[in-house]
Amino acid sequence: MTSEANKGKEGAGDGDKRSMSRQGSKKQLPQVPQQEGGMTPPRPTSAIPPQDHNSSMAGYGQFFLEYALLAEYNQLHKQKLPGVYVIPSAKSPLHWFGVLFIRQGLYQEGVFKFDLLIPENYPDGDCPRLIFHPAVFHPIIDPISGELDVKRAFTKWKRNINHLWQVLLYARRVFYKIDTKSPLNQEAATLYEEDCDMFKSRVCDTVELSKLKRYDPPYSDDPHAIKFSRWDESKHGETLRTITTPKIPQEVDVNKNAQTSGLSWIKPGNIQIFSKD
């Protein structure tokens, strides 16, 4: 019995050696140690609270919105639309104050103030709204609210294709090319088509009203709200002269360059040193 047990142990020892040799020739991950009494087992995946991606994206969303609006404002400056002046509100980047000066046509001399209201989910939402204060007598401007029918030109706002400066350009063009299809002001459309003289009379009234109300205080207490003041020579005279005075071009000395300016004591055409005073 003893000899057989010894043989069994020797056989087991040989098997362990062969197993160790096989393990030595093949890389294996170490075994996971058993949990000790003082260690806390890991929490299951279901117990880990999910991350609120909406809250994190909301912060980025506000950043991207302001960046997009800044890019739109820079594009507007590059377009240099005649007679269009716009400034964002000091309280919200989604609200822009503007004024439109009409320099020719039926609405000539009109000074029309307006608000540009941008959707909160811009540029993925609906098209912006443009509202005149006070309402302008025009076929596609609501006579009560003063809102321009922007969707007539932008039926569906397309991201990266439509821009805010295009809305402002459209608002300017409607005063030069009158459209009477599907009007918001039926009276204005009817007069334009059937009684042009009466239409011109009503347009003159709305132009004069805009000129009278341009000095009224703005309806909003926003610091950036556009307001006009009457002419004051002590305040505006110097600015006017600066704008209207043509700039005198500076004379360019062809004999000077980056290397010789201020370093030469030789008169042009003379090789004598110190000949230049």
Alpha carbons within 13 angstroms on the beta-carbon side of residue 147 total: 10
Residue 261 lies in a domain: no
Q: How many domains does the chain have?
A: 1
Name the residue among 177, 120, 185, 113 with its Cα closest to residue 149. 185
Looking at the chain, the number of H-run helices and the number of E-run strands are 6, 4
C-beta pairs of 226-232 under 8 Å, 24+ apart in sequence: 226/85, 226/87, 226/97, 226/98, 226/99, 226/113
- The CATH number linked to 201 is 3.10.110.10
Residue 272 lies in a domain: no
Residue 90 predicted with pLDDT over 50: yes
pLDDT one-digit tens code per residue, 229-241: 888 898 888 988 8
Domain extent at residue 156: 61-219
Residue 170 lies in a domain: yes
The identity of residue 220, as a single letter, is: S
Q: Are 184 and 131 in contact (CB under 8 A)?
A: no
What's the pLDDT at 115? 96
pLDDT one-digit tens code per residue, 152-201: 999 899 988 999 999 999 999 999 999 999 999 999 999 999 999 999 99
Residue 150 lies in a domain: yes
Does the pTM exceed 0.85?
no
Residue 134 lies in a domain: yes
pLDDT one-digit tens code per residue, 44-56: 544 444 544 444 4
Residue 273 predicted with pLDDT over 90: no
